[in-house]
Structure 1
Amino acid sequence: MGETWTDPTCPVARTADIVGDKWSLLVVRDAFDGARRFGEFQRSLGVAKNILSARLRNLVDAGVLRLEPASDGSRYQEYVLTDRGRDLFDLVLSLRQWGERHAFEPGEPHSSLVDRATGERIPRLTYSTPQGAAVSPAEVTVRKVAAPPE
């Protein structure tokens, strides 16, 4: 991506450049849900094959997914989340939890993320400062990179 960054010094912009379109995010979501093969992603998403191919290729190129020989020994290849891809879990969880709070009417059914062992819903994701205080927009600021001298 190097030369095509939307905002080269902003981590949010760079992340959006890599996974910011809906199909890429949904591919990552499905990979967390266990999808590994092209056909699994295609069936789940209902996206055109050319679009899915492009998104998968971009995610592989960005190091979010890697291709591996199929686990069943067939001639197929499987897409597997890398460490970099697994690091997107907080982002996917945050999007899910925002959607649960703001994208559904009260009482409207939706999927839920639950603990595999207990079946209990995952609590809302929160972040804290090194001192243990809750992080909110009022307590943080962005330290911008200084513009290079002209």
Structure 2
Amino acid sequence: MTDPIAQGLGYAGGVMALIGGLYGASIGIGLAGSAGTAAMTEDPQQFKKILLLAALPMAQIFFGLVIMLNFIIYVNNHPDIDIMRGLALLSIGFMAGVAQAYSAKKLGDVCAAGIAELPRTKGKITLNTMILTVYAGLIGILALALSFMAISLIG
């Protein structure tokens, strides 16, 4: 028997993951963009590197999208989910959304710090900054993997 409330909760969980990625990325991009504006006043030649670093927090949007699509596929393939599974999906989506938001915000922090140093280092900090963003982005990747594992355990 189909429970539309349970299905709605499942879909809402997926949407929460995407919302987290969107929200966090907007904050992260804003932080990096603000630092970029200041850095360009010192050295306008760094624009391409600023653009590259400021875009990195957007990765969390794609992770959130992949998580949401996984939720949609799960709910569509399990039309008989009950309210407990719906609540479980909502909780998993909440976890993933918070992780995506926090990860994207921290990505923005790391990128902003690197962007601020671009003029002083004549752009030599770019690669190191990109490598350091991996640590902040790892939280979003782990949330992606853990959400897939958790959904598979729901049954």
Higher helix share: 2
TM-score normalised by length of structure 1: 0.22
Higher relative contact order (CA 8 A, sep 6+): 2
TM-score normalised by length of structure 2: 0.21
Higher strand share: 1
